[in-house]
Amino acid sequence: ARRTPMSRLRWRLLFESLSGAAQKSMQIPADSSPKEISSTFMSLLERKYHLRWGVQDYAKALKVSRSSLLRATQSAYGCSPADHIQQRTLKEAERLLTTTDHTCAEISEALGYLSQAQFTRAFSGHFHEAPTVYRRKRLVASADANAG
């Protein structure tokens, strides 16, 4: 399979995740409560969301089973780890759309989406409008607020 080079934005997101808090092991004790598992998952997700790991990848990093992670997050937060992964990734997409001039293609690639179309579908499903429309509305609102 042919690999494409990583964009500068993707490199920056990777660097930021590595240069954050000391990259301590996220392994949790075998007798951890669902609250501890879900809390550790959320911390790890905050550092790794841009890698587009799946639930199995997070479970492996935490040294718990996929089903244990699912039960823990359902119990603690009422939704699945996959839901949290998507929400966090889209939160970053929203930040990049409203604070940078990166194109949707650059943002989708930086966040690990396979295509801009896949990114647009995910974003539109969550925010109920296309990323370009979302950005345009926020820029207009920001300009109006600054003019007032």
Rounding to the nearest 10 degrees, give the CA dihedral for residues 45, 50, 51, 55. 40
Instruction: Give the list of residues 6+ apart from residue 92 with CB closer than 8 angstroms, or none.
Output: 13, 49, 50, 111
CA distance 44 to 73: 13
**148 pLDDT band (50/70/90 cuts)?**
low
**pTM here?**
0.77
Lowest pLDDT segment from 39-43, 71-75, 135-139:
135-139
Q: What is the chain's length?
A: 148
Q: Give the chain's largest Cα–Cα span.
A: 57
pLDDT tens string 83-100: 999 999 999 999 999 999
Rounding to the nearest 10 degrees, give the CA dihedral for residues 99, 102, 106, 110. -30
